[in-house]
Amino acid sequence: MIEITEAAANILKRSQVEGKVIRMFLAALDATGANYGLALGSPEKDDVVFEDRGVRIHVDREDAEILRETVIDYVNDEHGTGFIIRGPEDELSACGSCDHTDTCDHENDGSCDHDHDHDCGCGCS
């Protein structure tokens, strides 16, 4: 299943256009890894459709197996603004890699509000 963060879902919902669907595709697969893309497009009869947070993502059947484990996020920070699509092979950092994303606030004050007795992988201490 494709996971869509709340930030990405908010932007994607505002981007929807009548008669068009949000399509995710595998743009390239090379030695550096996978490169993904998002675009508005027409629905195809063989599309695989994933839904999360009220957003439907259409994927070509051939790409669905590779794309089904991706996370779509949206960032707006000092490094830029836009969608980030991470696949299962991408290394996560900060709290995106643990189950406590709703209680971590590294961007604002560098704090977490969860127990670190186990290796949650969020990068905080």
pLDDT of residue 88 exceeding 90: no
| Residue 68 contacts residue 1 (beta carbons within 8 Å) | yes
| Residue 26 contacts residue 36 (beta carbons within 8 Å) | yes
Hey, where are the domains in the chain? Answer: 3-89, 91-125
pLDDT (mean) for 9-31: 90
Calculate the alpha carbon distances from 25 to 34, 52, 115 in Å. 10, 17, 37
CA distance 95 to 92: 8
pLDDT (mean) for 37-43: 94
Question: Which CATH code for domain 3-89?
Answer: 2.60.300.12
Q: Which of 26-35, 60-69, 83-92, 111-120 has the lowest mean pLDDT?
A: 111-120
pLDDT (mean) for 65-83: 91
pLDDT of residue 65 exceeding 80: yes
- Please list, residue by residue across 2-11, b when 16 or more beta carbons sit within 10 angstroms of its beta carbon and e when fewer do: bebbeebbeb
